[in-house]
A and B are shown apart, each in its own frame.
Chain A
């Protein structure tokens, strides 16, 4: 079987997601060995998305609507790719880019930064700011080996499209599902969540809207069969 062709598309991101991918240390070689990386501006000298079909585009960063090139690039990536993956909070939820308001030199008109699903259909989301290296690694290996059971929660509707601590409110607490485990508090990169008497309390000013807490909450989805198969040995 030919190795899947992967493009790493860098939009309005900080490269932290790519560093996180590299942060799998020697396991990075497993990933790079299993794929054909056809485009990655940080790592290789291919300037434009290559001609022809790409299997998977991994997208880091949000899209600046006032930057024509960015809008064009995400559209082109979508057209050429079998799957589009939003890697990291910025691509998946807008993350810190949600706070952009323009008005700064030397492009004061660069004002609206949107998660990529605002412009194109997204097949999978890997939330987090940055996403943990192990999640990226597991995702890549599952994608290459076709482990659909593992991938399913990344698809739209499960972890996809979550936005902030409020997701825990609307999906978990309001559905009377929270049992106070504290996982959300651990997952938050900005310590925006404190556990008060067994329930998460959100500091909305600290929240950067990365989507990690909701994805991590065991009451959002619970991979019982995976746990059974992969860990109970």
Chain B
């Protein structure tokens, strides 16, 4: 089945201007976290916050709306969010932690819920998982090379970066867009056996593909995710649209095409690695 298991799929845009002003797409992640915090569904969230190095994210345990909003926006490099899960539970004493992450980080959280090795009383504190779609990620040095050598702007001048419509674009000292092809060689190689584009194991998964700028394609996958989203929508957190408003080749048709592409590529890469005698994670291809 395309896009993994899900209950609903819809197009969403947060209504709060303070959020849409800083969010990457429809602000679904940030608005939903703020709502969940308000409602006491969570008492904190692990997000990709800012560090002292420009565009190098740092996993942050956010316990206020201000901290959640300060971490909005996509950083196209690795933020090891799972590294902060024990900190959230032990040092912050949180009972209901939300984790935001790429599909692979959602797997990690799910594995920890079932097999909490070295995670005493931690796995059961993961109260909500919000997955963001992901085609690939870059190392920090890779991202910096793309920005400084290919886009030819200083990394500290970047205000926003985006991947879409076949381009890598930055809003910076000047606005630049380069063909995505130029960035491929900087992709993190661990991504090449990843079959998950739409965060198939999150409670709620969201991304930009399939909806116009400023909107997010959003799946609710579990009862928990679906209930929370229904309440948030009823409380007026989001503007909503049906995905059917965005007809092929846009909308879900486009998402499905890209998803299939990612799965096929991962299978091909895994076969090549196995032919070389390398280890490939059991269970990773599906």
Please give the residue numbers on chain A whose beta carbons come within 8 Å of chain B beta carbons, in ascending order.
20, 23, 127-135, 138, 150, 153, 158-159, 171, 175-183, 185-189, 195, 197-198, 210, 212-213, 215-216, 218-228, 230-233
Contacts and interface: CB of A to CB of B under 8 A. Distances in A.
Nearest to B123: A134
A198 B189 contact: no
Interface stretch (B108-116, B178-186, B254-262): B108-116
B139 A176 contact: no
9 contacts: A23-B120, A129-B118, A153-B115, A212-B118, A221-B282, A222-B107, A227-B110, A227-B201, A231-B110
A178 B118 contact: no
A57 to B, nearest CB: 21
B229 to A, nearest CB: 16
Given A180-B78, A180-B80, A181-B105, A223 B119 contact: no
Contact of A215 (B80, B117, B284): B117
A231 to B, nearest CB: 6
B193 A177 contact: yes
Given A132-B119, A185-B80, A216-B117, A180 B111 contact: no
Nearest to B78: A198
B273 interface: yes
A226 B282 CA distance: 13
B86 interface: yes
Nearest to B136: A179
Nearest to A130: B120
Contacts of B222: 231-233
B18 interface: no
A134 B121 contact: yes
Contacts of A185: 80, 82-83
Interface in B104-144: 104-105, 107-108, 110-124, 137, 139-141
B163 to A, nearest CB: 17
Contacts of A180: 78, 80, 137, 188, 190
Nearest to A137: B116
A134 B114 CA distance: 9
B221 interface: yes
Nearest to A197: B140
B78 A197 contact: yes
A221 B120 contact: no
Nearest to A175: B279
A198 B273 CA distance: 22
Contact of B141 (A195, A197, A231): A197
Contacts of A230: 114
A183 B278 CA distance: 22
B283 A221 contact: yes
A215 B112 CA distance: 10
Contacts of A129: 118
A216 B119 contact: yes
Contacts of A228: 5, 201
Contacts of B102: 179
A218 B111 contact: yes
A132 B108 contact: no
A210 B120 CA distance: 14
B83 A132 contact: no
Q: Which of A132, A150, A177, A218 has the most chain B CB atoms inside 10 A of its CB?
A: A218
Q: Which 3 A-B pairs have the closest CB atoms?
A: A182-B80, A182-B83, A198-B78
B84 A134 contact: no
Contacts of B122: 132, 186
A227 B107 contact: yes
B21 to A, nearest CB: 28
Given A179-B137, A180-B190, A183-B82, A133 B107 contact: no
A101 B282 CA distance: 38
Contacts of A188: 118
B121 A176 contact: no
B84 A182 contact: yes
Contacts of B84: 182, 186
